[in-house]
Amino acid sequence: MEQNVKELKEKLFMKRKNTYEEMNDSEIEKADEFCEGYKEFLDAAKTEREACTEAIRIAESNGFKKFRKGIAYNPGDRVYLNNRGKSVILSVIGRQPIENGVNIVAAHIDSPRLDLKQNPLYESEGLGYFKTHYYGGIKKYQWPALPLALHGVIYKADGEAVNVKIGEDENDPVFVVTDLLPHLAEEQYKRPSNKLIKGEELNILIGSRPFKCDEKSDAVKLNLLNLLNEKYGITEEDFISAELECVPALKAKDIGFDRSMIGAYGQDDRVCAYPALMAAVDTEGIPEKTSVTILTDKEEIGSEGNTGLRSGYLRYFIYDLAEASGVSGHTVLSASRCLSADVNAGFDPTFPEPFEKLNAAFLNRGVVATKYTGSRGKSGTSDASAEYVSEIRKLFNENGVIWQTGELGKVDFGGGGTVAMYIANLDIDTIDIGVPVLSMHAPYEITAKNDVYMAYRAFSVFIK
Ligand code: MN
Ligand code: MN
């Protein structure tokens, strides 16, 4: 009888897999190796522009060529489309005709950060600052007293572009948002925690040395502009036509004595973007169906704008592929399927309250399949069909992809969304597949190496 119960449980209960029970030593070694490349990518690509450039560099060195509209490509051909330097689509042409649909993997390459305002530079009491407007969902109190680097592009009056990346090299200066000393923080402590640091207090300290002159007013600002003019040839008005982003001046590192995890800025969603990119470039031979890998911008602010996935750029790309084969675009869209490759929250034992353990995602248990996101009664989600979940479940199980399900927190405890719904709205079967993250949206986010590798495996088997 006792034995029967054990067998019955074995047969009927869902087995919760752990990568450390399922992966052998050589697989774990492969995961560690894969993550070395991932850490390099994280350090080289802290903004959407840099991630786009880096993805194209990697793609080109793996045989991808610039996509040209109107060309009927052959099976095995590799193309990429650069959307304004902030989003990129990679495609490997498949064996089957395009009307059978394409396999889409979509990740995003923008991350929460502090953007400079259009007129950012000022001086106050002998200190020079940049005003910022934060981008995406940040806990503002996490950003003061943290070394920051400045990345981006400035267009000068004559239209010439100047690329900026300062604070990453060992010898570079860094920048910082200041915070109040605890001794004088009595009133600050009384603020609600979401106002502990206010948006207009996220001012970045950039200098304090005045220009040598008799004129005392704005001498620090003058000195800073003079330095910027010497280095970049810019004037104050040029900030208007610039996109400058302040990101943590921190490098990707192994976390833990056992080096099993990775700590870095911007892992939401580079932890899916890099595996998606590598799955595309590592495609062996000719895939069954055409694969379309999208690394998109603007997810963190609602996917708006012409580099975000609410715009037509993905649809137009697929239409162009279709037309070149004499097929209507919507025929291809309706036959396609998609993995929306984005992160989910990893269960945090220090903060168990907002998680519902039965349906939470855990580190080291593989990629997370999230049927629906949204909040307050599944509002704002595409909710993958049982049919499609079944198809993905079967695919992963048959190919040794270790995966788990995960819902973002308890019902009515908050919520969030991904690009899944914008792709599903094109009449494409879509499900969220991604990596669980600790401290999501913090300046330093944590992932587990085995999960990162499982994301790569999941995207690889999907586009094979
Ligand atoms: Mn994300
Ligand atoms: Mn996010």
Query: In this structure, is residue 255 part of a structural domain?
Result: no
Q: What ligand is nearest to the CA atom of residue 435? A: 1
pTM of the model: 0.97
- In the reported structure, the alpha carbon of residue 268 is separated from the centroid of ligand 2 by a whole-number distance in angstroms of 5
236-274 residue pLDDT tens: 999 999 999 999 999 999 999 999 999 999 999 999 999
How does pLDDT run along the chain (464 residues), one tens digit per residue? 667 999 999 999 998 899 999 999 999 999 999 999 999 999 999 999 999 999 999 999 999 999 999 999 999 999 999 999 999 999 999 999 999 999 999 999 999 999 999 999 999 999 999 999 999 999 999 999 999 999 999 999 999 999 999 999 999 999 999 999 999 999 999 999 999 999 999 999 999 999 998 988 999 999 999 999 999 999 999 999 999 999 999 999 999 999 999 999 999 999 999 999 999 999 999 999 999 999 999 999 999 999 999 999 999 999 999 999 999 999 999 999 999 999 999 999 999 999 999 999 999 999 999 999 999 999 999 999 999 999 999 999 999 999 999 999 999 999 999 999 999 999 999 999 999 999 999 999 999 999 999 999 999 999 99
Expressed in angstroms, the distance from the first to the final Cα of the chain is 46
Q: Is 28 exposed, middle or buried (0-12, 13-18, 19+ CB in 10 A)?
A: middle
Same domain, 330 and 274: yes
Query: In this structure, is residue 260 part of a structural domain?
Result: no
Q: Strands across the sheet with 253-255, in order? A: 253-255, 261-264, 445-448
- In the reported structure, the alpha carbon of residue 342 is separated from the centroid of ligand 2 by a whole-number distance in angstroms of 8
Amino acid at 334: S
State which of 217, 248, 279 marks the end of a domain: 248
Pairing of strands 87-92, 291-296: antiparallel
Parent domain of 346: 13-111+265-463
Same domain, 189 and 97: no
- In the reported structure, the alpha carbon of residue 369 is separated from the centroid of ligand 1 by a whole-number distance in angstroms of 14
- In the reported structure, the alpha carbon of residue 121 is separated from the centroid of ligand 2 by a whole-number distance in angstroms of 29
- In the reported structure, the alpha carbon of residue 193 is separated from the centroid of ligand 1 by a whole-number distance in angstroms of 24
- Distance, in Å, from the CA atom of 137 to the CA atom of 96, rounded to the nearest integer, reads 41
Query: In this structure, is residue 214 part of a structural domain?
Result: yes
- In the reported structure, the alpha carbon of residue 5 is separated from the centroid of ligand 1 by a whole-number distance in angstroms of 42
- In the reported structure, the alpha carbon of residue 130 is separated from the centroid of ligand 1 by a whole-number distance in angstroms of 27
Same domain, 157 and 269: no
Q: What is the pLDDT of residue 108?
A: 98
Same domain, 279 and 364: yes
Same domain, 80 and 162: no
Same domain, 242 and 331: no
- In the reported structure, the alpha carbon of residue 362 is separated from the centroid of ligand 1 by a whole-number distance in angstroms of 17
Q: What ligand is nearest to the CA atom of residue 272? A: 1
Q: Strands across the sheet with 103-108, in order? A: 65-66, 78-83, 87-92, 291-296, 103-108, 337-340, 429-434, 367-370, 403-405
On whether the CB atoms of residues 132 and 204 are closer than 8 A, the answer is: yes
Same domain, 320 and 349: yes
Query: In this structure, is residue 281 part of a structural domain?
Result: yes
- In the reported structure, the alpha carbon of residue 250 is separated from the centroid of ligand 2 by a whole-number distance in angstroms of 19
Query: In this structure, is residue 135 part of a structural domain?
Result: yes
On whether the CB atoms of residues 321 and 412 are closer than 8 A, the answer is: no
Encoded tokens for 14:
């869902």
State which of 223, 248, 273 marks the end of a domain: 248
- In the reported structure, the alpha carbon of residue 251 is separated from the centroid of ligand 2 by a whole-number distance in angstroms of 19
Q: What is the pLDDT of residue 2?
A: 67
Query: In this structure, is residue 6 part of a structural domain?
Result: no
Q: What ligand is nearest to the CA atom of residue 418? A: 1
* Total count of domains within the chain: 2
Q: What is the pLDDT of residue 64?
A: 98
Same domain, 41 and 104: yes
CATH label of the domain that carries residue 225? 2.30.250.10
- In the reported structure, the alpha carbon of residue 343 is separated from the centroid of ligand 1 by a whole-number distance in angstroms of 5
Q: What ligand is nearest to the CA atom of residue 434? A: 1
- In the reported structure, the alpha carbon of residue 343 is separated from the centroid of ligand 2 by a whole-number distance in angstroms of 7
Same domain, 227 and 145: yes
Query: In this structure, is residue 211 part of a structural domain?
Result: yes
By C-alpha distance, which of 344, 418, 333 is closest to 382? Answer: 418
- In the reported structure, the alpha carbon of residue 117 is separated from the centroid of ligand 1 by a whole-number distance in angstroms of 24
Q: What ligand is nearest to the CA atom of residue 270? A: 1
Same domain, 167 and 74: no
Query: In this structure, is residue 4 part of a structural domain?
Result: no
State which of 220, 248, 276 marks the end of a domain: 248
For the chain, give the percent of residues with pLDDT over 70. 100
Q: What is the pLDDT of residue 48?
A: 98
CATH label of the domain that carries residue 31? 3.40.630.10
- Distance, in Å, from the CA atom of 160 to the CA atom of 153, rounded to the nearest integer, reads 10
Q: What is the pLDDT of residue 1?
A: 63
Same domain, 231 and 367: no
- In the reported structure, the alpha carbon of residue 437 is separated from the centroid of ligand 1 by a whole-number distance in angstroms of 10
Q: What is the pLDDT of residue 117?
A: 98
- In the reported structure, the alpha carbon of residue 7 is separated from the centroid of ligand 1 by a whole-number distance in angstroms of 41
Same domain, 90 and 189: no
Radius of gyration of the chain (CA): 24
- In the reported structure, the alpha carbon of residue 128 is separated from the centroid of ligand 2 by a whole-number distance in angstroms of 31
| DSSP summary character for residue 118 | E
